[in-house]
């Protein structure tokens, strides 16, 4: 194993890590012709350079996966489950290192954020391990002279493309169910956050997955990502990222009619009725848009508050965010809000804040000084008195910025909440159980959270409608999406 493919990194917490920087293909680490720098968003300093997969390396990974699939699909579910359990144990053993790598590469606060992401990955690996020998089909009663049954079989070779806001966690959402169902995979990390997934590849190798079953690469979306999406040797695409890129991937995947799972953008409405527990609504609202620096697809970045409690909510919301959402270095234990992921994202969010001011939204919070001289830090920002035609109400910002609006009636707020191209999630705060269920029925989204936000569960399906995506991940549907039905008809003696 060439040492050129690894680098000793000094982490801000004083520890060192042997970081892979190559491409993990066919159970080996290899180099390529191109490299890309990855930058620490808290310091703006280069962490390291990683090798980038081009079309040749993607072709190599596809060939490896296709060869491996011939035997992997025959491996008993219990054996696949055992390997996933071992991978979960190995990930747990390296949780501190993985959390630190996530923090330095993405800007996530290590203790309050990154560690939870790794813990979620571990839990999902174990959950999917339990599914591996329980992927059942069905028997269809067609009469005494014929037996028909439908079985779920693996799709084949799956191309998976993950985002930068949850580098390892979103990878786990795709890797675990695909392997449990008997598929082989080629997974590409986001350009800005490749390190934790490369480190994870070492664990895949360590626990003994057969060569070619798991291929993990870094690469540009326009090169490696596009080639994965259009490749005729790939049977399914799973993508998490922007709606714009998701639309492109859907077109590319049509080259050989791949099945697709797309989890794209969101602009989740958060509705607070006058009878809600305001203190709880405030706490959940803050978690839902300030956690992970607002870089969350389900972020409740549109808040609608009934007029009777509007000013009370705003006052408490500001107080809570100022008190409990400390902006700072990802390696300080007190930090809750770290930097956004990159210079490009930093500029994008600042542009939205400027637009919010220019379009007449009232800035309740956001002018507070950021003390760090370096890093892509943006102070939590609250806009009030927003209208439906404002840019910050219509477009996904993907930063710690929220637009708060007032409403009078239930019908009015439902119309406003559904007035969006997105349909990923929505939140409703009320003590009226009848209203809660009625509102959840009327909201045009894939998920609704009542008196909470974003506390999704690995046992429940996660997905959106409209421009927020196609299909679901997690839960039983998250497993089934990596299978297709094969129907078998058995003649029991009926002669022509």
* 263 belongs to the catalytic site: yes
In whole angstroms, what separates CA 435 from the centre of its chain? 31
Residues 6+ away with beta carbon under 8 Å from 437? none
Which of 320, 326, 390, 385 minimizes the C-alpha distance to 352? 390
Q: How many angstroms separate the CA atoms of 327 and 360, rounded?
A: 26
SS3 label, residue 107? coil
**274: which 2 tokens?**
């006058």
Distance CA 435, CA 320 (A): 27
Q: How many of the other CB atoms lie within 10 Å of CB of 153?
A: 16
Radius of gyration of the chain (CA): 24
CA distances from 484 to 3, 155, 325, 479, 480 (A): 42, 6, 45, 11, 7
Q: Identify the residue whose tokens are 């072709």.
A: 59
Residue 256 burial by Cβ neighbours in a 10 Å radius (0-12, 13-18, 19+):
exposed
Secondary structure of residue 91 in the 3-state scheme: helix
Task: Check 263, 396, 454, 473 and give the catalytic one.
Answer: 263
HSE-up (13 A, CA, CB side) for residue 337: 28
**Positions marked active-site:** 263
């Amino acid at each position: 194993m060439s040492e050129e493919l690894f680098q000793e990194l000094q982490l801000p917490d004083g520890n060192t890590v042997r970081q892979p920087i190559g491409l993990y293909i066919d159970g080996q680490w290899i180099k390529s012709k191109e490299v890309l720098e990855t930058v620490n968003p808290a310091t703006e300093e280069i962490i390291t350079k990683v090798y980038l997969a081009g079309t040749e390396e993607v072709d190599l990974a596809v060939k490896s996966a296709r060869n491996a699939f011939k035997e992997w699909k025959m491996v008993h579910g219990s054996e696949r489950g055992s390997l996933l359990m071992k991978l979960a144990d190995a990930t747990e053993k390296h949780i501190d290192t993985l959390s630190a790598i996530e923090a330095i590469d993405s800007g996530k606060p290590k203790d309050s954020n990154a560690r939870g992401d790794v813990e979620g990955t571990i839990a999902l690996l174990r959950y999917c391990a339990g599914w591996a020998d329980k992927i059942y089909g069905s028997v269809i009663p067609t009469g005494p002279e014929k037996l028909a049954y439908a079985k779920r079989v693996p799709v084949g070779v799956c191309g998976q493309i993950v985002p930068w806001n949850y580098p390892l966690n979103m990878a786990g959402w795709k890797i675990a169910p695909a392997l449990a169902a008997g598929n082989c995979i080629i997974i590409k990390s986001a350009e800005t956050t490749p390190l934790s997934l490369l480190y994870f590849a070492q664990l895949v190798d360590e626990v003994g997955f057969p060569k070619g079953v798991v291929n993990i690469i870094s690469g540009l979306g326009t090169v490696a990502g596009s080639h994965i999406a259009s490749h005729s040797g790939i049977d399914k695409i799973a993508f998490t990222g922007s709606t714009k890129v998701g639309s492109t991937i859907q077109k590319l995947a049509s080259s050989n009619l791949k099945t697709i799972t797309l989890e794209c953008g969101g602009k989740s409405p958060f509705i607070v009725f006058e009878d809600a527990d305001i203190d709880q609504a405030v706490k959940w609202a803050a978690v839902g848009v300030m956690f992970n620096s607002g870089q969350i697809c389900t972020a409740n970045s549109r808040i609608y508050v009934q007029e009777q409690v509007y000013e009370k909510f705003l006052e408490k919301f500001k107080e809570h965010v100022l008190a409990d959402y400390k902006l700072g270095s990802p390696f300080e234990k007190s930090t809750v809000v770290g930097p956004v992921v990159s210079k490009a994202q930093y500029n994008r969010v600042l542009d939205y804040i400027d637009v919010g001011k220019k379009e007449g939204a009232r800035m309740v919070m956001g002018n507070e000084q950021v003390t760090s001289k370096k890093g892509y830090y943006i102070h939590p920002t609250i806009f009030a008195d927003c209208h439906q035609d404002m840019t910050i109400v219509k477009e996904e910002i993907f930063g710690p910025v929220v637009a708060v609006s007032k409403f009078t009636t239930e019908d009015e707020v439902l119309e406003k909440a559904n007035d969006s191209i997105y349909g990923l999630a929505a939140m409703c705060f009320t003590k009226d159980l009848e209203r809660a269920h009625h509102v959840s029925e009327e909201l045009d989204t894939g998920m609704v959270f009542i008196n909470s936000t974003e506390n999704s569960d690995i046992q429940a399906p996660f997905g959106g409608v409209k421009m927020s995506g196609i299909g679901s991940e997690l839960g039983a549907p998250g497993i089934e999406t990596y299978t297709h039905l094969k129907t078998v008809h058995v003649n029991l003696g009926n002669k022509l």
